[in-house]
Amino acid sequence: MQYNGSVSRREALIIEAGGERFRFYYDLEHREVLHMTLRHGTVPEDAIRTFFEGEARPWDETRSRFETVTETNGIYWTRHPHDQSVIVISCFQREEE
């Protein structure tokens, strides 16, 4: 197996809260801004609050992710295969649905 140097590795912001480690990835085109902040105007605190306060929906096998929602926000997330940290795929405001 060879490493494909043309594939960019995304940098992540890691935050620990409530006994969980959260990973938030930076946008591929704008590497200084978190993807979810650029696309949806949400910040890590919104995602963490949603994770702990929201209603978790069943695993979505088709998209390989969980969804957790509150009245105001939703997150798509999964677990990192090596350390089981929470990878926040996206955090969005519910009125965007």
Digit-coded pLDDT (tens) for 31-72: 999 999 999 999 999 999 999 999 999 999 999 999 999 999
**Two structure tokens written together for 2:** 């060879």
- Residue 2 has a pLDDT of 43
Structural domain containing residue 22: 12-96
In sequence order, which residues have a C-beta less than 8 Å from that of residue 57 and are 6 or more positions away?
Answer: 66, 67, 68, 69
Tell me the Cα Rg of the chain: 14
- pTM (2 decimals)? 0.86
- Which percentage of the chain shows pLDDT scores above 90? 87
Read off φ and ψ for residue 77, nearest 5 degrees.
-155, 165
- Residue 4 has a pLDDT of 42
Domain total for the chain?
A: 1
Q: What is the CATH number of the domain that holds 56?
A: 3.30.2310
Vertex 53 angle, CA 22 and 83, to 5° = 25
The type of residue at 18 is G
On the question of pLDDT at 97 being above 70, the answer is no
